[in-house]
Amino acid sequence: MTTVFIISAPSGSGKSTLVGKLMKCFPDLRFSVSYTTRPPRGQERDGHEYHFISRAEFEERLAKDEFLESAEVFGNYYGTHRSELERAAAAGADLVLDIDVQGARQLKGKIPHAVSIFILPPSRQVLEERLRTRSQDAEAVIGRRLEEAAEEIRNYSQYDYVLVNREVQASTDNLAAIVRSVRSRRDRMEQEIRPILETFENGRHKP
């Protein structure tokens, strides 16, 4: 049984760092590589952080209903291709999605049992500091990202879990605890439980 973990956060909240550390905690987790029309940043590589495609190609795939979810953010498309879930299910692995609030809402509509986690910055001031420290955006873009963050945070109640990222290691530990908890749910454990129960049933009939 494949569980889909949806992780959302305002830009600059440290989500990518936390997801990267979570993946190292659980080598059997698979990361869903989204498609986007935005250009690569820094050391980003095609097929690693994102699949970078043209706007025309994205819209063509969108018309063919190839995406589980998609959204346009700051003038660029982002989307999760259906093949990501299909490959995870075929391998019997859980899937981690790093997507925004719009995408999370769409995905929850299609996969209600998906587990959603929202990562909050400790405050607006801390988020602004983080955005400025990474030095990737112009002043106007930073202002726009802060406005977008305020809108995204208002949707926190739509998520199953909320995590405040004050310190990286503590937040990583909390994320890992959520994954372990979900994996221990009865519906996830059925295949493992049944053989155990059978040993008790078989043993009951022995003299």
**Does any domain span residue 182?**
yes
Q: What single-letter amino acid sits at 175? A: L
Look at residue 53 and tell me whether its pLDDT is greater than 90.
yes
Q: How many structural domains compose the chain? A: 1
**Does any domain span residue 103?**
yes
**Does any domain span residue 120?**
yes
Residue 180 belongs to domain with CATH number: 3.40.50.300
Instruction: Determine the Cα–Cα distance for residues 42 and 46; give it in Å rounded to an integer.
Output: 12
Q: Is-contact 163 120, C-beta < 8 A?
A: yes
Supply 189's token pair.
Answer: 């454990």
pLDDT digits (tens, 9 = 90+) for 110-164: 999 999 999 999 999 999 888 888 766 778 888 888 988 898 999 999 999 999 9
pLDDT digits (tens, 9 = 90+) for 1-23: 799 999 999 988 889 899 999 99
**Does any domain span residue 66?**
no
**Does any domain span residue 77?**
no
**Does any domain span residue 38?**
no
**Does any domain span residue 112?**
yes
pLDDT digits (tens, 9 = 90+) for 57-72: 999 999 999 999 998 8
**Does any domain span residue 54?**
no
Domain that holds residue 117: 4-32+93-204
Q: Give Rg (Cα) of the chain.
A: 19
pLDDT at 9: 94
> What is the value of pTM for the model shown?
0.85
Instruction: Determine the Cα–Cα distance for residues 89 and 114; give it in Å rounded to an integer.
Output: 13
